[in-house]
Structure 1
Amino acid sequence: MKNILVPIEMHSTVDSVLQTALVLARKFDSYIEGTPLGPDLPDLVAFDMPVSWTINDQNSWKELADEAHRKFDATMSGAGIASKAANGSGPSQAWSGDHSLGDSQVASYARVFDVTVLGRPGSERGDPRMATSEAALFESGRPIMLAPPRTPSTFGDTVVISWNQSTETARATAFAMPLLKKAKKVIVLTIENFVVDGPTGEQCAQMLARHGIAVDAVSRPGGKSSGEDILDQTEKLGGDLLVKGAYTQSRLRQMIFGGATAHILAKAKLPVFMAN
């Protein structure tokens, strides 16, 4: 994971997002690129919209982008991350963009990065927006790393894969392979009654073992909520990073009835590596 994209919006967990990116970059001597993030704007603006509103809006966005840039620079400088790695080794960083990109624009740009680090969405004012995570998941073709509200000091020693036998989980596992190879321990967790047709957790563990990964497969009975069960079991297993396929069910179904992805997006207290 040599290329990390960090869209910066001045939300409540921006510090955790940056620190999560730094932990990841130090594991792989990665390049971190920060870019300013804002909500998507309508593609077309009504012709009779007051010019003053448009100008003020653009000025506000420029100010927010400048604030995001200052935050990124201060964090990278404080962490000793150079704009160019010495002797071509170690983490490096750069900033791109003078104006905030919308969620869809960031998701498109993320296609040329190994992973995008985002804040875990929340429902309170000032929390990261769900639209950002969903755009990155569905439009980038790449994985995301969700930073928890509380800044992690480290992660990735004990990785739990939430294995529900789905295509989405297989894809997330494949994307996570660099992290799995660096982990001290990997646990393939299956929650019974919350799986689709596909290879078992034991078969997934066998595949990973052939890569030289120290891995165990465990199965636990399901309760009322697969998302709650996944987070509870991950904590009991000592996991400090969760790997999960996103939205095995449709987004609409999860919005109406709930689902594991929706619960984890709202409640996870550890970094979560996701792909769709």
Structure 2
Amino acid sequence: MKNIQKVLLPLSGTSNAEAALATGLLFARQFGGHVAALHVRADSRDVAPLAGEGLSGAMVEEMMSAAEREGARRSLAVRELFDHFTAGNEVTVTGPIPPFHTNPVGSATASFVTMTGREHEVITFRARLCDVTVVPHPDSGDEVSSSETLHAILFDSGRPVVIAPRRAPATAGRRICIAWNGTAEATAALHHILPWAAEAEAVRILYSGDYQRRGPEARHAADYLAIHGIHADLLEFGNTGETVGASLLSACREFNADMLAMGAYSHSRLRQLILGGVTRHVLENAELPVLMSR
């Protein structure tokens, strides 16, 4: 099954970028696909409106120049990391539209493009025509909450997002856990994980009374997978004294899962950010690739 052919990999800097590249490469090789690395440089002209806020033209000009220098430095660092990674992993670098017919399963190609604009808009628009977007793991809980780009992809691309772990995984998509709570978001994740689940060694559906919402039960999700020729066992997770998010990750570790699929933000995003929630906990603490869908 070669459903995953284009993996978008936005790189805003070098933090956790190598682990994201490794995750994207695992996916691309599994399906004989392509890793499309994308770096978005901020447009220094976006500083110009500050001239109307009491700053002189000379001050704004200097700010624009500084922003341009910083953008050039960051772009160079990201490109050097990409070149080092692809050379070290013997990945053929092509143009943005590679010859896919030459990519057998087990191999992959990669490309690198730099664009100028607002990062969350550029990446979201490009993600709409990719099979999956792999994003580097944010460094801190604050970045998870405020990551405009991650939220934009989740809410506006219509495509699944995989948050890569902080450390490069040895495998991804061989032992899969699917978090099920009956929501439309969980349903989207179930559909988006199908290409991996069809190739996986083992699949487990995780459910909990504390996590379940109005909608189909976990056994119905298992029946749906069975129609696609995918066997999945069921496990009710939950540990006294642990939050739902912590219990979910504990169940993944017990299964030796190397990938988790789940819906994002079953409640409103605002409530999630204020009160925490399963999505936030998993984003901050997962040590395996996490596919999220809306």
Question: Considering the TM-score relative to the shorter chain, is it more than 0.5?
Answer: yes
1:104 shift after superposition: 2.5
Match of 1:76 in 2: 86
Comparing 30-39 with 207-216, greater Cα deviation is found at: 30-39
1:91 shift after superposition: 1.1
Comparing 77-86 with 255-264, greater Cα deviation is found at: 77-86
1:132 shift after superposition: 2.6
Q: Which amino acid aligns with 1:33?
A: A
Match of 1:65 in 2: 75
Comparing 51-60 with 80-89, greater Cα deviation is found at: 80-89
1:248 shift after superposition: 0.6
Q: Does 1:234 align with 2:238?
A: no
Say whether the 8 Å CA contact 1:11–1:127 is kept in structure 2.
no
The whole-number CA distance in structure 2 between the counterparts of 1:230 and 1:72 is 33
The whole-number CA distance in structure 2 between the counterparts of 1:231 and 1:247 is 17
The whole-number CA distance in structure 2 between the counterparts of 1:112 and 1:72 is 22
1:240 shift after superposition: 1.3
TM-score, normalised relative to structure 1: 0.91
Match of 2:152 in 1: 135
1:257 shift after superposition: 1.3
Q: Does 1:274 align with 2:268?
A: no
The whole-number CA distance in structure 2 between the counterparts of 1:161 and 1:241 is 9
Q: Does 1:159 align with 2:169?
A: no
Cα RMSD of the aligned pairs, angstroms, is 2.5
2:208 aligned residue (191, 204, 221): 191
Superposed, 1:40-119 pairs within 5 Å as 45-48=49-52, 49=55, 50-84=60-94, 88-89=102-103, 90-97=107-114, 99=116, 102-119=119-136
The whole-number CA distance in structure 2 between the counterparts of 1:64 and 1:135 is 22
Partner of 2:211: helix, strand, or coil?
A: coil
Match of 2:23 in 1: 20
Rg bigger for which structure?
2
TM-score, normalised relative to structure 2: 0.86
Percent identity, aligned pairs only, is: 28
